[in-house]
Amino acid sequence: MQELHHECGIAAIYHLESPTPSKLVAKDGPEQVTRLMVRMLIDLQNRGQLATGMTSFNPHRESVLDTYKQIGTVIEAFRLNHPAKFENILRDYAGRAAMGHVRYATCGKNDKDHAQPFERYHGRKWKWFTMAFNGQLANYQELKSELLNKEDYYLMRDLDTEVIMHYLSYELRGDDRPDLVQVFRNLAKKFDGAYNLVFMNGMGDMCVVRDPVGIRPLCYAIDGPLFAAASESVALSNVGFTDVKTLQPGEMVLIQDNQIRIERFAEPRSRTAHCFFEWIYFANVASTLDERSVYLSRAALGKELAIQEHRLGLIKPDYNTVVVPVPDTGKAAADSMAYELGVPSVEGLMRNRHIGRTFIEGNNRADRVKMKFSPLREVLEGRRVILVEDSIVRSTTLKGLLWLIRERGGAKEIHVRVACPPIIAPCFYGIDMSTVSELYATQFMRGKIITLEEQQAMARALEADSLFYLPLDAIARCIRLPADRLCRACITGEYPTEAGERMYQLALRKHEGGGSNGRTYESGGSCG
């Protein structure tokens, strides 16, 4: 599903003052933890490719906080293909603490000014801070209105990151250095939605915060005096951490006065709601989120597809049948399904990894699909193909892939199997799908549970020989978390927060009124 985007990933790293440095920085020294930050951001690149940035803390530098950010991927922004320029960046931004961000925006401009981290300058060091944010505030519009109704408030950008920055600034007002746990406790009473935050001030205090519902993942690790946190575990394990832990919903890590503390800033909600899409699609397959392996979850989805195939008897696999994954997120499910069915799993679609982001931006989606994927006629021609896709949102990419497999690959039959239930409702917590009208399944479904007849109608519209989705109850089974601990709003229409439910009702009214243009939150929600 190459047509859906996540909104951002965050990372933080801090080397405490210690006579014995962590073995993970022994080569370069504590003042060079920014080198590890760049590597961590590379491992979070799947969560955003529009822009990236980093703020470092160095008390021996004239500017104790200094922020570097650019448009483009991590490799592009940090000039990794130009070693001398990369070394200059690391030299200028060296420090014993750093926080970083990769961005994909659901709205807002794609320019450097909208890239994160956001830095707020002030003459007092504990009011001078930098922050980065992963998620989306469902009650953004209300928060924005509240700010603008205050005397002389002004917003330079129409996005929730700036609103969060202003609310943080407001909590830091006064002449006394505030209790940072209380600061985020106060904000938790105002914010509704997904908000993982990293915060660092000019005193060298750092906070890593996970919202009380726990919609987006966040993990951390400690190696002696070295602390690090990231949206995904792979960013920590790949720089050498061996004991990666989950930051629980409503918890924050506070680094202050050369100590690391885990604090609860918000009472546990009646339910947590981890976004199931993280396991299905967004997260790196090598990551573990909330103690659940992404790879094993996707493999379980493929086994579930095979079980449903046997149960329904939709097709009878034979020597001429092959399973083909849609690269790359469909591969684990495809391999598992093929194993259970006793047929080969083959890479009949090859993804071109050398086409740059800018090169394909100006083309329509059909042309982009043709440039990004190459069908292997040698393994597809004359075959019955079971195409495994992780999910279908708008269907435009899938239509292009089906054309490639049939016309250029020469497949005899194409049977689409989707390792996810139908997407029937928008997301207001950080995924780029905010209207009912853009969702493919809602054009065919009369209720919330899809029928065989509706799936057959979808297959005809896509020009596939058959199409089958996983049932709703399969998701919790495969991730091995209870359904009431998952956010499944996009497949059930049931939202875990009040503002999310309000936004859904607005989206339904807009859809029923014939509105199809513009995102729901552009008339009352977040811009992340």
Residue 424 C-alpha from the chain's centroid: 19
Give the burial string for 279-306 (b: 16+ CB within 10 Å, else e).
Answer: bbbbbbbebbbbebbbbbbbbbbbbbbb
Nearest to 128 by CA among 191, 77, 63: 63
> DSSP assignment of 429-477, as one string?
SSBS---STT-SGGGT-SSSS--HHHHHHHHHHHT-SEEEEPPTTHHHH
Please give the DSSP secondary-structure letter assigned to residue 114: G
| Beta-ladder partners of 136 | 194
Cα 438 from Cα 175, distance rounded (Å): 50
Q: Are strands 226-230 and 9-15 parallel, antiparallel or unpaired?
A: antiparallel
Q: For residues 154, 156, 162 and 168, what is the CA-based torsion angle, rounded to 10 degrees?
A: -40
Tokens of 143: 């928060």
Tokens of 486: 């998952």
Choice among 8, 487, 490, 527 that is catalytic: 8
| Beta-ladder partners of 11 | 100, 230
Residue 203 C-alpha from the chain's centroid: 30
The answer to whether 345 and 322 have CB atoms below 8 angstroms apart is: yes
Cα 427 from Cα 424, distance rounded (Å): 10
Tally the residues of the chain.
528
Cα 180 from Cα 199, distance rounded (Å): 10
Cα 439 from Cα 491, distance rounded (Å): 11
Residue type, 111: D
Residue showing tokens 């949102």: 393
The answer to whether 334 and 345 have CB atoms below 8 angstroms apart is: yes
Cα 105 from Cα 446, distance rounded (Å): 32
275 is an active site residue? no
The answer to whether 388 and 302 have CB atoms below 8 angstroms apart is: yes
Tokens of 499: 């503002």
Q: In the 3-class helix/strand/coil scheme, how is 18-63 assigned residue by residue?
A: CCCCCHHHCCCCCCEHHHHHHHHHHHCHHHCCCEEEEEEECCCCCC
For helices 160-171 and 180-188, give the axis angle rounded to 10 degrees. 130
Tokens of 338: 């093929």
The answer to whether 407 and 16 have CB atoms below 8 angstroms apart is: no
In degrees rounded to 5, what are phi and psi of residue 208? -120, 120
Catalytic residue set: 8
